[in-house]
Amino acid sequence: MDQQTAENDVREVYHNILGRDVDEEGLTHYRDRLTQGQQTVRDVVRELAHSPEYRERFIDTHPAPPDQITLAYKQFLGRDPDSEGLETYKQQIASGKKIDDVINDLIGSKEYSDKFGDNTVPHQ
């Protein structure tokens, strides 16, 4: 991946996942990892989704599992959850599954791969 594409992707990932502009440190770090082939855009998405900032901004502010699940579907698959997916994850969370695991499921899903692959930023 060339440097300009990497920078654009990093800016877009920060905007779509964290809801803010990327800082210089984050831009440099992820741009370099993308251009050197050390990470894919999907890896960056996953890393930011598991960051303390993501948890504070989105998970902690949406404490009800259905809200967390819906937000994750929107951010990582670009759509609302279907009723079956929502019910399945609600039951799994009630049985001890963590929202971080739900996010991993979505980012690792066939649907994510089909829509975004490894190097397209997820969008709604």
Residue 121 belongs to a domain: no
Position 59 scores a pLDDT of: 94
Tell me which residue range forms the domain holding 18. Answer: 3-116
* Of 82 and 123, more confident: 82
Residue 15 one-letter amino acid: H
pLDDT tens digits for range 21-60? 999 999 999 999 999 999 999 999 999 999 999 999 999 9
pLDDT tens digits for range 56-83? 999 999 999 999 999 999 999 999 999 9
Q: What is the CATH number of the domain that holds 33?
A: 1.10.3130.20
Residue 104 belongs to a domain: yes
Residue 90 belongs to a domain: yes
Number of domain units in the chain: 1
pLDDT range class, residue 124, cuts 50, 70, 90: low
Residue 123 belongs to a domain: no
Crossing angle of helices 24-35 and 3-13, in 10° steps, is 130
pTM of the full structure:
0.94
Residue 21 belongs to a domain: yes
